[in-house]
Structure 1
Amino acid sequence: MRIARNTAATLFCVVWLFPVYWMVNTAFKPYGDILSTTPRFLPFPFTPANFVDAVTKSGFLRDLGNSVLITAAVVAVAIVVAFLAATALTRFRFPGRRGFLIGVLVVQMVPVPALVIPLFLSLKSVHLLNTFLGLGLTYVALVLPFTIWTLRGFLHGIPVELEEAAMVDGAGRGTVIRRILLPLVLPGIVATSVFAFITAWNDFLFAYVVMKDQSGYTLPVWLVSFSTSTGTDYGGLIAASTLFALPVVVFFALVQRRLVEGMTAGAVKG
């Protein structure tokens, strides 16, 4: 039975990883081999020309900086707001608390494309279209329901008696949050930060709708520039997509241990 499970898991991993392998493999192929009808599973002859074309393409460094700036800000703001909101939901009783939780669940069920027009009109009414602040607030609004609900599950599993004992010893609310709640809920913060990072980093739709000035575009919008009216630069596009995926892989590798702990703990708490 164990052999069957291991075999099934291995096959699943192979099927899941194959598109990633094919993307990297194609990125190192000459342009003629990319369009060939005969597949080659190894990139011979090997060439880095596609990556050179990608990083030297107009707008790469500018849009990379925009993506890094917006993503870092969204992750930081979303985690802070979600942590404080989840703390309030688990530690205080106030009118409308249950309705707020139900609202959080309902918002998560709404398809993201259905929010484009309402968010566009809302940003337009407050003059935040074509601004990094408007785009950042849009991403924060998208990730907050999930992060609040997830962190609430972690905080719900932390005994209130720990905080009460610390306060009896003279610790203030800020000290309790900093020295007791934060270390215990760290796996949940890491798990939700990965979600916020991927959402902000990978988004194309809202970045294209909110930002009309090319100087404010992010990397997902920059990738579209490889397709023009004269054709598509498949080599550059695949190489750029590989580079675009690297930050997510690096971020995941850095927080992998905490992420696994967070996903496991979140499955049994709350």
Structure 2
Amino acid sequence: MSTATAPPAAAPRPARRPRRLRPARAVRRGLLYAAGAAVFLFSVFPVYWMVVTAFKPVSEIFSGTPRLVPAAPTLEHFDRVVNGELIPGVDFWQFLLNSLIVTLGAVTAGALVSLLAAVAVARFKFRLRSAFIVLLMVIQMVPMEAMIISIFINFRQIQDGTGVQMLGNLTGILVVYTAVSLPITIMMLRGFVNAVPKELEEAAAIDGAGNWTIFWRILMPLVAPGLVAASIFAFITAWNEFIVALTFLGRSTDHYTLPLTLSYYFGRFGTEWGSIMAASTLLTIPVMVFFLFVQRRMVSGLTMGAVKG
């Protein structure tokens, strides 16, 4: 009678040693980190200096020894900008409301028109389709300042639905901001629409879904990241624009937007740098809030609208 023998136990494997980087690779990685930190500091320092200067008293702003941190922080410049103490007749809150109306209107109208146009260009074949796409790319190469004279002449002869001229009110610059952002937003959204498989729409159509259901339930969630990115571009363009607003509004100071307040602080006998930095800081906050609000939706939109499989 034979007895089965147990196989010999396997020898324990030696513990893996931590992988060490080669000296050349470690130096290369350190240089990359240092270059990234230098680029970061180069990009952030102007914003930091703007905010710091807004809190400095006048004596520190014009001091021959610059300070990275204000020795005696003050809210004097913010108070003078918000309450209009520096320049009588300048209503900061009215300018802020005008900017919000124009910017949000341009973002909403631009997102709607660009999304519909992107779907039409990406999904349908029509006459002069290629020429339309080429025209969009050509328009992006032309700076807005080069077209401002022709746009001004055309708008001077146009009236809105209430019979009021397009110049001197918020409607005119809202239309201009929307039109300026359309070429790049249409091209951005066209790429997102092309990335959506047509099979998803065909499967929904087979299940009995209509065109509106396919657009809203299938296409819209998958294109949401591109729509948010286009909205950010349109928001920044409309919020920070200065030349068009100054040209189209002229002497209609009641309709001035917030960037135009900066021109009030450049006088003949001096420049109020503290007020300029305070107004610029306040001008930056809504852009940051808008971006923080939509950045989560840029990521979540990537996984929305998927089918069960």
TM-score under structure 1 length normalisation: 0.94
Matched, 1:27 2:54: yes
Match in the other structure for 1:121 = 153
Aligned residues with identical type, % of pairs: 44
2:76 to 49, 56, 68: 49
> Aligned ranges for residues 154-233 of structure 1 at < 5 Å?
154-212=192-250, 213-233=252-272
- Aligned amino acid, residue 39 of structure 1: P
Q: CA deviation at 1:194?
A: 0.5
Structure in which a larger fraction of residues adopt helix: 1
Misfit runs of 4+, over 3 Å: 257-262
> Is 1:105 equivalent to 2:144 in the alignment?
no
Query: Which 10-residue stretch deviates more, 227-236 or 190-199?
Result: 227-236
Looking at structure 2, the residues matched to 243 and 106 of structure 1 have their Cα atoms a distance apart, in angstroms, of 35
Report the aligned-residue RMSD.
1.6
Check conservation: 1:191, 1:258, Cα contact below 8 A.
Answer: no
Please give the per-residue CA displacement for 1:229-248, whole angstroms capped at 9, x wherever unaligned.
Answer: 33222111111111111111
Please show how residues 113-152 of structure 1 align to structure 2 within 5 Å.
113-126=145-158, 127-152=165-190
Please give the alpha-carbon distance, in whole angstroms, between the structure 2 residues aligned to 1:140 and 1:121.
18
**Contact persistence 1:108–1:145 (CA under 8 A):** yes
- How far off its partner does 1:152 sit? 0.1
- Cα contact 1:187–1:259 (8 A) shared by 2: yes
Distance in 2 between the 1:6 and 1:205 partners?
39
| Counterpart among 71, 82, 93 of residue 61 in structure 1 | 93
1:261, distance to aligned residue in structure 2 (A):
8.6
Q: CA deviation at 1:54?
A: 1.0
Is residue 58–residue 274 contact of structure 2 (8 Å, CA) maintained in 1? yes
Task: Tell me how far 1:114 sits from its aligned partner.
Answer: 0.2
- Amino acid paired to 1:78: G
Measured against aligned partners, the alpha-carbon deviations of 1:30-54 in whole angstroms (never above 9, x if no partner) come to: 0111111210010111111111111
Aligned length: 263
1:14/1:179 CA distance change after superposition, 3 Å: same
The structure with the largest alpha-carbon Rg is: 2
Distance in 2 between the 1:261 and 1:145 partners?
A: 26
Q: Secondary structure at the match of 2:74?
A: coil
Instruction: Give the C-alpha shift of residue 258 in structure 1.
Output: 4.6
Q: CA deviation at 1:73?
A: 0.3
Deviates more, 1:167-176 or 1:253-262: 253-262
Partner-residue secondary structure (3-state), 2:72: coil
Give the Å deviation of 1:112: 1.6
Q: How does 1:1-16 map to 2 (within 5 A)?
A: 1-16=28-43
**C-alpha deviations, 1:113-148, integer Å up to 9, x for none?**
101101101111213111211111100111000000
Matches of 1:247 and 1:106, distance apart in 2: 31
1:186-225 per-residue CA deviation (whole Å, 9 max, x = no partner) reads 1101111000000000000000001120001101111111
Q: Are residues 261 and 205 of structure 1, via their aligned partners in 2, closer, same or farther at CA, if it must alter by over 3 Å?
A: farther
**2:110 paired with 1:78:** yes
* Kept after mapping to 2: 8 A contact 1:62/1:215: yes
Structure 1 pair 260/109, CA: closer, same or farther in 2 (3 Å)? farther
The answer for the alignment partner of 2:290 in structure 1 is 251
Counterparts of 1:260 and 1:18 in 2: how far apart (Å)?
28
Residue ranges of structure 2 left out of the alignment (5+ in a row): 1-27, 85-89, 159-164, 302-309
What corresponds to 1:266 in structure 2?
none
Q: Answer whether contact 2:224 2:298 (CA < 8 A) is retained.
A: no
Once residues 260 and 200 of structure 1 are traced to their aligned partners in structure 2, the CA distance between those partners, rounded to angstroms, is 24
Q: Do the aligned partners of residues 22 and 77 (structure 1) sit closer, same or farther apart at CA in structure 2, a change above 3 Å counting?
A: same
Residues 121/74 of structure 1: CA separation in 2 closer, same or farther (3 Å cut): same
Q: Which runs of 5+ in 1 are unaligned?
A: 263-270
Q: Is the 8 A contact 2:173 2:248 kept in 1?
A: yes
Structure 1 distance, partners of 2:173, 2:156, is: 12
User: TM-score by structure 2 length?
Assistant: 0.82
Give SS of 1:232's match: coil
1:61 to 1:171, Cα distance in 2 relative to 1, 3 A: same
Aligned to 2:306: none
